[in-house]
Amino acid sequence: MIGLLNIGSLVLGLIAWILPAANLMRNNSENQGNRLMTAFVSMSACAIALFFQIFYNYHLVMIEDWSALLDTTGGVVVAATVLIFVTIVLNAINLLVYRKMSAK
CB of 40 within 8 A of CB of 21? Answer: no
What is the tens place of the pLDDT at every residue in 34-91? 788 999 999 999 999 999 999 999 999 999 999 999 999 999 999 999 999 999 999 9
Domain of residue 97, residue span? 4-102
Domains of the chain: total? 1
Please indicate, yes or no, whether the overall pTM of this predicted structure exceeds 0.75: yes
What is the tens place of the pLDDT at every residue in 45-61? 999 999 999 999 999 99
User: Exposure of 35 by Cβ count < 10 A (0-12 exposed, 13-18 middle, 19+ buried)?
Assistant: buried
